[in-house]
Structure formats: structure tokens, C-alpha cells
Chain A
Amino acid sequence: MSDRSTVVVAMSGGVDSSTTAALLVERGYRVIGMMMRLWSESEEGDDRFVSNRCCSPEAVADARGVCQTLGIPFYLLNFEAAFKQHVVDFFVDGYARGTTPNPCLECNREVKFGALLVKARALGADHLATGHYARVRQDRGLFQLLKGVDPNKDQSYALHVLNQEQLTHAVFPLGEHTKDETRAMARRFGLRVADKHESQDLCFIADGDYRHFLQRRIPSLLVPGDIVDARGKVLGRHQGLAFYTIGQRKGLGIAAGQPLYVIALDTARNTLVVGRADELGRQELVAGGVNWISGSPPDGEIEVTAKIRYRAAEAPAAVTPLAAGRARVVFHLPLRDITPGQAVVFYQDELCLGGGRIQ
């Protein structure tokens, strides 16, 4: 990134994006703050619902205030349509298929580093910066995605969807810092948002309860059905498959001699399959829509550590690329909560190789 570069910072009004903007201003770049107006149920004229939490009036006021403090322009751009299509509809469809989707990944791929990056570039920006805790490194003409240095905040998992073109323009200044350092810097820059609490996922769900949201969007998803064991024996009733996720133990409402866990969601039969802890473990999965950050899959099997959820620990595994953008992942030891719809992300040390959606 040259000193004369124009950088758009995706502002949320939170401490991370605000400090990102401040750091880039301090480093002498020409910085422009942009905030995305995103979809929420209130856009459909139902005033029972509040704005999307990522662009509530308070968040907009905070972001604008930070830009005023920094002396940079601030613009609010409308991305409701892209967000609705790529994130909200994806989320609802995922549940309709009996999976547990991660909409934040699609937001990064299609909205932040999709629609927003395209607009920012068209409007004269060279780069798009966000407050993510991850790093980009150039290595022999290729852009690599590295974990953020703060192990508790590393967000490379959520960015594994980015390709070379996107990474060419991506800037993550906070990847070099810990969250504590970020807060300290925010205070040093005199940003009033320094002590704001963390933002939540599922920004488009007004009350934060995705089950209520699904009930409103597709009531058919929440049709009660049987809870069965692996041999099909009926053990109880469930309240709708979207209420459950793989590995879940609590809230099943079954009295059994031993703890039972959700091991599968059978949308065709509308049954919830449960089993003992030892039935839960799987050692193997196939991922679809795999993104290899380098731009091409490895020639054959490679050894990696893999994460099957944002907050999961990395587990050693062998990954073999398959046809049609898929990959087989074989873990050294069985894992309990391999969940269709969530992403499996591959690492070699601090390098994020990419990942795909668990099928």
C-alpha cells in the first residue's frame, strides 16, 4: 500500500473499525469512512422491529462522530438489497435445509468484500480496511491470510472466504495488535467509543433470537416432530428442527439414563436424531464450495489443523481436494460437533489456507 493510497474504512461505530480508521489517518493515508446501511425487518415497514444493529441510528452517530474527530469524510451507503440476498436469504435457506449456517461469512464474502469493495474502488479508493483481527502478507506475488496476533481475537476464520482479488485490496491494521492494545490506542486517539462493548453476530435479527426470526420468516420450519435414536425408535417430540444444532444436549426434554446429544437433523422426515456421546463423534467430513486462498487447491493430500466453528479449537487433519470445489477432511481424532452449514477452515501454523462449508 503506497503512502498516497486512498483507503475506505468500513465503519461500524465500534472500537475496532474506529481505531482502524484512526491508525490509517495517523499513517498518512487518505482515509474515507463508509458505513453500510443493511437490511433489517424494519425495512419491510414493520415498525415493531428496530434497525439492523450494524447501522442503528446510535451506531451511525458514533461512526460519524469518530470520522468528525479524525477529520475524514463519512458516507452512509445503502446495501440493503445485497445484504438481504446474500446474507439473510442464505441464513433462512440454510435452516430450511436443516443446517446451521454462518451468515457472517457470506457478509464478508459478498457484502463487505463484495458489494462494498466494488463500490469503494469505483468511487476512487485503492483499498478497503476493516477492523478484523487478521493479517495479509504478500509472498512471491501471492497474498496470504494470516491469523491475528491476538489468539483470543483472531478472526481469520471469518475471512477464509476471501480470494486473491479481494485480499489485494484488503487492509487489516488490527491484525498486528491485541484487543487490549486496540482499546488503549482508541483512548490515545481520543475516540469516545474506546470502551464500547463488543458487537453481536446476527445483526439483522432485532431481538437477537434467531428462532423467533425464523418463526416469522418461515413458520413451516418450526413444525414439531419426533425425536428418534439411530435405530428410529421414538424417544420424544421436538419443537421444530431449526431449534436444534449438532452436539446440543440441553433442551431436548428427554429423560434417559444417560446424556443424549443431537447427532443429526433429518429434514426429509422432520425428525431429530439423538444418541450417546460416543455416537456423536465423526472423524471425517466433506466440505463444499471450498475457497483456497492461494487461488488453487494443493496437488494432493496435505496435513493441516482445522477449525469446524469460529470458537472451536484447531484439530490436526488431512485434507484432500476433491472435484467440483469440494474437499475431504479426515481428522486424526473424532470430533463431536461437526455441524453441516458451519465452515471448516484449514491452517498451517499462522497461515490460513482457506476452507469450505461442511456438507
Chain B
Amino acid sequence: MRDPRLLFERYGRQLLVDGVSVEGQARLGRLCAVLAHDTSEVARSAAHACGRWLVGAGVGRLVVTSGGADELRALDADLEVLPSPADAEPPCAQFWFARRDYGASVDVALTDEPAGWATGRSAAARVTTLRWVVGAPAQPEDAVALGAAAADLLVADALGLEPMPLLLTVDWSNPADPHSKRTPRPVEAVPVGVALAADVAPLLPRLRALPAEWGRIEAEVEARYPNEACGFVVRDTDGNLCSVAAPNLQDRYHALDPESYPRTARTAYKLNERAVAKAESDGAELVCIWHSHCDAGAYFSAEDVRCAAPGGVALFPGVAYLVLAVMGGRVRGVAMYHFDATSGGFAAELG
């Protein structure tokens, strides 16, 4: 918010809402929203609607990845319009789909540390991200409702009013509550009955606190670019974490059976499972499986989910999955995921 006096003039009523308060409103004013979307009209409408609602709620800065943003210039927020997504350096490595064909899709993130967050290396930045894919039947006017709903969720999450849902499904038949089909992000991190091989949720900071292991992973994924790299982390019998790089066998499987393995190592990985079995037979405990996404964000893709939990059954339920985004040969973002039996999905730990 450019003028602090507007805080009371504009948001006087909103400040009365439990949980917003003067501090919450001021916090929104310090946040930056980054909106990325593909070139479809539906996605553009959804993204810009989301931006308008975020600014309406008091978010102070917008970064958008598209042209045609004139309608956003009139808003009371600092606005930065990046060049064409296809040519631009990614504004945020946590999501980046511009060079991929995901259909009509939108990514939006709220962060309080845009500079550190843009490098993908800041563990301090508080980031809330939401991705949605706009269904084919949707029209631009539908997308506006979805953009507004997304803004609601982001603001609530940023203020700690309500955690961001793990999954968001839009019910177009119920415009009064289009995000009614949300799947809540579970509060209990580890459901009873699921034996975790390690405390996977806080694993990422612990791994990063091991410079040698972390450097080994980063060096490996950058060296393998533009192909995906993969490997795993084990805890040895002395309790030490140790990263092991493994060959990506995807091209070999693709050459053998392109029907079953349509992707090459450029966009997929297949780890040599025997290497994991050998480490385990030596007494080590598999803690984490890591791989890179090349010129794509650090997220758990649909393909990652299909392979890690075919039919909804996790193959390694107690193991964390680390994803590193490599843009132009450099690591620009990381995220870690683990299977959550309560939701049947993968919960994220961004960093």
C-alpha cells in the first residue's frame, strides 16, 4: 500500500474481521503477489481477477507475467509486468510452466520477501502458492469467480485465518461457493498407523544444514541439465544423512518401450531401484528420493504423483520426495513432499 493513511480509510470495516486487525492489514500491504499464467484468455481472466481481488484486500505489490495488464495499472498497488513468459527469466522458481503445455493454468504466490524468493534460495521467505488448471468448459467469466476464490484462499492463508487447502476443485455448478470442494490441508502431519522412516516434514532444513550433501545434490542436478537428475538420501547406521546420485535410466526405458515410457530424460526420471536396494541391504535407511525438473518449477507434478502413488497407494509412504527446479542449468528452487495418508495426497514443504 503506497499510502499508509489508506489503511483506515479503505479497510476500516475489514479491520473488524477477527484475525485481520491492523497488523494483519499492514502485513497484507507488505506482501507481493506474483501471478503467472499461460496465454489463454481464460487463464488471463482468472489471473487478473485474482490480482484485482488481492489488491482489493490490501496486497501492496503485484508482479504479473503477461502483457495486456492495463486493467491492473489503475489499481492501488505497485505493478511490475514481466516480458513474455517464454523469454523471461522466471520470477519465481517455485512454479514455472511457461515452457510447458499444461493447458489453461494459473500460478499465484504471495510472499513477503520477493527478492530472496525470486532466487528460489531463500528459506526465510514466507510463500503461499496456489496453482490451478482452468477446465476446458470454463469461460472467462467463470474464471473471474475462480480468481476471486483463489484470492480469498491466499489472503486467509497469509493471515493465518485458514490454511490453504491441499487440493482445490472448482464446482462450476455452484457459483455461490465455487471452491466448496476443497480438500483441507491436514493439520496433523503424521497420521497414526503410518510408520515414517524419518521425520520427513522438517527434513529439508536439516538437509540444507549439511553443506556437503546439499552441494552434492545441487552440483549433480546442474551437471545433468538439460536432463533430469535423480538420486536418494539414506541415513546410515551411524545416523548420518548421505546423498547418493543415481543414473537416470529413463532414456534406456524410452528406447526399449516408447509406448509405456513416452518421455525422455529431458522431462522424466527413472532411478535404478537396485541401487536403493543395495544401500538398504547395507543397513542404510531410505529417507528421501530426489530429482530435478528442467526449466520447470519445484512442484510435485501429476507424473510424480502417478509414479509415487499409483492408484492412490504410496509405494514409499515414509519417504520424502525432494524436487529441485533447474532453470537454464542453475538450481532456482526446491520443494519437498511427503505422502499424507489422511488426504491421500502429497503435502509440501517449500524452501
A binds B: no
Chain A residues proximal to chain B, CB less than 8 Å? none
Chain B residues proximal to chain A, CB less than 8 Å? none
